[in-house]
Structure 1
Amino acid sequence: MGTVVSIELADDLPPARLTELVGATCAWLHEVDARFSTYKDDSEVCRFRSGALRLEDCSADLRHVLDRCADLWRDTDGYFDAYASGPLDPSGYVKGWSVEVASQRLAAAGSVRHYIGAGGDIRMRGAGPGGRPWRVGVRHPWEADKLAWVLSLTDGAVATSGTYERGAHVWNPVAGRPASGLCSVTVVGPDLAVADAYATAALAMGEPGLSWLAKRVADGYESAAVTDDGRAFTSANLPIAP
């Protein structure tokens, strides 16, 4: 998925079991990469968008992703669009979704205290080492060695979308141009797939995304954002570390 994944298990389980759980998680993420890669001609996504694979013959995972991307397109007034760049590219949903599913699988297998990070997408469950909350640093948009915020939470997801590493890679599909106005958006909430999509959509909206994010608080999604000219905004209950 074009990023490094880190996994930390804080459960009091035998080392062999912890190793087994990490291996299973990595296997799942490699499976997702093979199925949803837009760079591998034999991936399921590439075969579907080329017409070589019919919708009814797609895996349950791909059909789920297509349905959720359609839902999020409606929920974001078209700013989250898996077709924003032309051909189908559900990557903006898949990374967060795959980590969310990985966390659910770990919990079902007995790991109730863990951290999975994939680039700017992070899912935490239970307490961290020593029984303390997990701490997540949100990178400063212009100074790579500094943090804009440090978040503290036990159960939840953190997704950050920004232009500071890969430039203007987020497209505003409504205006038909690269996104501008916001250089960093972080969303915190109960589901990483949704948080990731919301962060991407708000970044695509530009500054109007600030008021759109404020309306997501009622659904349990807090946020932080930095504008292109350096102004910072946070929702009232963002879990900033003391």
Structure 2
Amino acid sequence: MRRVEQVMGFPVSLRIDDGDRRGNAVAREQAADAVFAWLREVDARFSPFRPDSEVSRLDRGELEPHGLSPDLVEVLDLCEEYRIATRGAFQVRLPGRGLDPCAMVKGWSVQRAADLLTARGLARFCLNAGGDVVSTGGPWRVGVRHPEQGDRLCTVLEITDGAVATSARYERGDHIVDGRTGRPATGLLNMTVAAPTLTEADATATAAFAMGAEGIEWAAAREGCEVFAVDTEHRVFRSPGLPIAV
């Protein structure tokens, strides 16, 4: 079963390969419905671009910390964890801007969606959210786009149960800001992270990109993370355990 929908501003594609019996087909469709319903709920609750979202209401001072949903508390706690780990390079509150936890929400919410599939007994699927992938029951091959040539790949990874996320400039320009300076991050063209969950992979890739060249070693040193990176001098770094497809 395959389905693609536009959610949270990017395409999300889901492929489920479990079984081919009629009962399984119904279960797959119901699971897919639950995934996309959850992602639409996340967009409504956590988008800083929606004035009625929980994030926007918190930013305007309409909510007290003790009145936040457990989900938002979890997201903000993760954001603080990465802020501390990067010494401020990863920030969700930048000077002159409102609260924007999108850099954490994407990976966290898509991993939750994958967990929904697993909880329903599905064992072979691939969920791709704007190029960031979480899968189980592989192997699945995940291409990493060349940072300067849109029609080429710079590597292909093979994952079985895990996730891959990439941060780069090619889709949205200088959208990642180094929270220590308040300016667009410099030093890297591409940062790809393979990790056990998309929460870890996406947040680590974004945080490392914000840190610049120093983010390569920082990301590679994080437990469970493997790194593929290209710096602005076109030097390529691959951590020893990177699951490159053969």
Report TM bin, short chain. Answer: over 0.9
Contact 1:25 1:106 in 2 (8 A): yes
Distance 2:114 2:87 in 1: 29
Q: Confirm whether residue 35 of structure 1 aligns to residue 45 of structure 2.
A: yes
Distance 1:237 1:48 in 2: 41
Paired residue for 1:240, among 231, 238, 244? 244
Question: Alignment partner of 2:10: what SS?
Answer: coil
TM norm structure 2:
0.92
Contact 2:82 2:207 in 1 (8 A): no
Shift, 1:182, TM fit: 0.1
Shift, 1:213, TM fit: 2.2
Contact 2:185 2:212 in 1 (8 A): yes
Paired residue for 1:205, among 205, 211, 228? 211
Unpaired segments ≥5 residues, structure 2: 1-7
TM norm structure 1:
0.94
Root mean square deviation, CA, Å: 1.2
Q: Report the counterpart of residue 15 of structure 1 in structure 2.
A: 25
Distance 1:181 1:151 in 2: 23
Distance 1:75 1:191 in 2: 18
Q: Report the counterpart of residue 90 of structure 2 in structure 1.
A: 80
Q: Confirm whether residue 194 of structure 1 aligns to residue 200 of structure 2.
A: yes
| Letter paired with 2:77 | D
Q: Report the counterpart of residue 92 of structure 1 in structure 2.
A: 103
Shift, 1:214, TM fit: 2.8
Q: Report the counterpart of residue 104 of structure 1 in structure 2.
A: 115
Distance 2:116 2:177 in 1: 32
Question: Alignment partner of 1:236: what SS?
Answer: coil
Task: Provide, for residues 112-147 of structure 1, a one-character-per-residue CA deviation record: whole Å limited to 9, x for no partner.
Answer: 1111111132101122xxxxx101000001111110
Shift, 1:58, TM fit: 1.6
Distance 1:176 1:7 in 2: 36
Distance 1:63 1:214 in 2: 27
Distance 1:214 1:72 in 2: 15
Q: Report the counterpart of residue 116 of structure 1 in structure 2.
A: 127
Unpaired segments ≥5 residues, structure 1: 128-132
Q: Report the counterpart of residue 137 of structure 2 in structure 1.
A: 126
| Runs (4+) off by over 4 Å | none
Contact 2:59 2:98 in 1 (8 A): yes
Fraction of identical pairs, as percent = 48
Distance 1:113 1:151 in 2: 17
Shift, 1:68, TM fit: 1.3
Contact 2:86 2:211 in 1 (8 A): no
Task: Provide, for residues 61-104 of structure 1, a one-character-per-residue CA deviation record: whole Å limited to 9, x for no partner.
Answer: 11111111111211222221111363211100000000111111
Q: Report the counterpart of residue 234 of structure 2 in structure 1.
A: 230
Shift, 1:239, TM fit: 0.4
- Number of corresponding residues: 235
